[in-house]
């Protein structure tokens, strides 16, 4: 499996992975799948500051993706990120999510980040297992925070230390892989 920085050319494949999750599940709280153009804009915007990585299967097709984003707005949060990963439905259970997260966390450490947070719509045993296998620890649950598919849904929050920083330094700009 190859892992590389996403480009806007990956937007159709990424949108195709994400669309059924938006349409058919409460895993994402979006109500309408983003268009290919919107996904391209999201990739380009994210890459201005954070990593967005894709995995490629043996035939060169995007099999999954992972990215980081700003955790909160206030300046004191700048060394923390939110992270998320998605894997193509026919490629799940092959360790792709773990490899993507391993690469993402390495990139984030190099850039100077200290903490990663993941919000998981519950129930989602596969995502919980993935995050906990990567060292994320449960923090707590926002109860009935999102309404989708005619039901209220909880979101659990997990945290993982990327690196211990006694005193954080300036963050580096992401340059791609």
Block mean pLDDT (10 aa), the chain, length 177: 97 98 97 98 97 97 98 96 97 96 98 98 97 98 98 98 91 90
Q: Identify the pLDDT of residue 10.
A: 98
CB 98 within 8 A of CB 158: no
What backbone phi and psi angles, to 5 degrees, belong to 14? -65, -45
Q: Which CATH superfamily hosts domain 2-115?
A: Gcn5-related N-acetyltransferase (GNAT) (3.40.630.30)
CA distance 166 to 177: 27
How far is CA 52 from each of CA 17, 102, 146, rounded to the nearest angstrom?
A: 15, 13, 25
Structure tokens at 24: 């058919």
| This prediction's pTM | 0.95
Q: Identify the pLDDT of residue 38.
A: 98
Domain boundaries in the chain?
A: 2-115
Would you mind telling me the total number of residues written for the chain in this entry? 177
Tokens 């892989």 belong to residue: 177
Tokens 């700009």 belong to residue: 173
């Amino acid at each position: 499996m190859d892992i590389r920085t996403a480009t806007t050319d990956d937007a159709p494949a990424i949108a195709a992975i994400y669309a059924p999750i938006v349409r058919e599940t409460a895993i994402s709280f979006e109500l309408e799948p983003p268009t290919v153009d919107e996904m391209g804009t999201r990739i380009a915007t994210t890459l201005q500051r954070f990593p967005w990585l894709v995995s490629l299967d043996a035939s060169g097709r995007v099999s999954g993706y992972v990215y980081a984003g700003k955790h909160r707005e206030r300046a004191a949060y700048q060394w923390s990120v939110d992270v998320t990963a998605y894997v193509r439905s026919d490629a799940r259970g092959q360790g792709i999510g773990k490899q993507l997260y391993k690469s993402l966390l390495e990139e984030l450490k190099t850039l100077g980040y200290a903490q990663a947070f993941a919000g998981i719509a519950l129930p989602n045993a596969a995502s919980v297992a993935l995050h906990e296998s990567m060292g994320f620890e449960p923090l707590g649950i926002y109860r009935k925070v999102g309404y989708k598919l005619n039901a209220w849904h909880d979101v659990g929050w997990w945290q993982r230390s990327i690196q211990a920083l006694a005193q954080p330094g300036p963050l580096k700009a992401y340059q791609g892989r």
